[in-house]
Amino acid sequence: MIYVIKFDGSRQPFEKTKVVRTCVNLGLSQSEAKQIADKVESELYDGISTKKILQLIFNYVKEYKPEIAHIIDLRDAISLLRPKPDFELFVQMLLREIGYDVIPNQIVRGACIEHEVDAIAKKNGKNIFVEIKHHIQPHTYTGVDVCLETQARLEDLKEGYKMGKTEINFDHALIVCNTKFSEHAKQYAAYKKIELLGWRCPENRGIEKIIEEKKFYPITLIKESEVFDGIVRGRLVDSGIILLKQLVKADLNELAKKTKIGIGRLEKIVHTAKEILGTS
Q: Output the domain CATH number for residue 205.
A: 3.40.1350.10
Domain that holds residue 87: 81-214
HSE-up of residue 1 (Cα within 13 Å, Cβ side): 7
The CB density around residue 1, as the number of other CB atoms within 10 Å, is: 5
Most confident option among 64-68, 122-126, 224-228: 122-126
**What pLDDT does residue 7 have?**
80
pLDDT reading at 72 higher than 90: no
Reported as a single tens digit per residue, the pLDDT across 32-61 is 999 999 999 999 999 999 989 998 998 898
Residue 252 lies in a domain: yes
**What pLDDT does residue 68 have?**
81
Reported as a single tens digit per residue, the pLDDT across 118-172 is 999 999 999 999 999 999 999 899 999 999 999 999 999 999 999 999 999 999 9
pLDDT tier, 280 (very low <50, low <70, confident <90, very high otherwise): low
pLDDT reading at 9 higher than 70: yes
Residue 70 lies in a domain: no
219-240 average pLDDT score: 92
> 214, 244, 264 — which closes off a domain?
214
190 close to 170: Cβ distance less than 8 angstroms:
no
The per-residue pLDDT of the chain, averaged, comes to 94
pLDDT tier, 64 (very low <50, low <70, confident <90, very high otherwise): confident
Task: Based on the fold, state whether residues 209 and 222 are members of the same structural domain.
Answer: no
Task: Based on the fold, state whether residues 145 and 116 are members of the same structural domain.
Answer: yes
% of the chain surpassing 90 pLDDT: 82
d(CA 24, CA 18): 10
Tally of domains in the chain? 3
% of the chain surpassing 70 pLDDT: 100
Residue 239 lies in a domain: yes
53-81 average pLDDT score: 89
244-262 average pLDDT score: 96
**What pLDDT does residue 62 have?**
86
The sign of the dihedral angle between the CA atoms of 185, 187, 191, 193 is positive
The single-letter DSSP state of residue 70 is G
Task: Based on the fold, state whether residues 228 and 118 are members of the same structural domain.
Answer: no
40 close to 60: Cβ distance less than 8 angstroms:
yes
Characterize the bridge pairing of strands 195-197 and 172-177: parallel
Closest to 261 measured CA to CA, from 219, 221, 233 = 233
Task: Based on the fold, state whether residues 199 and 102 are members of the same structural domain.
Answer: yes
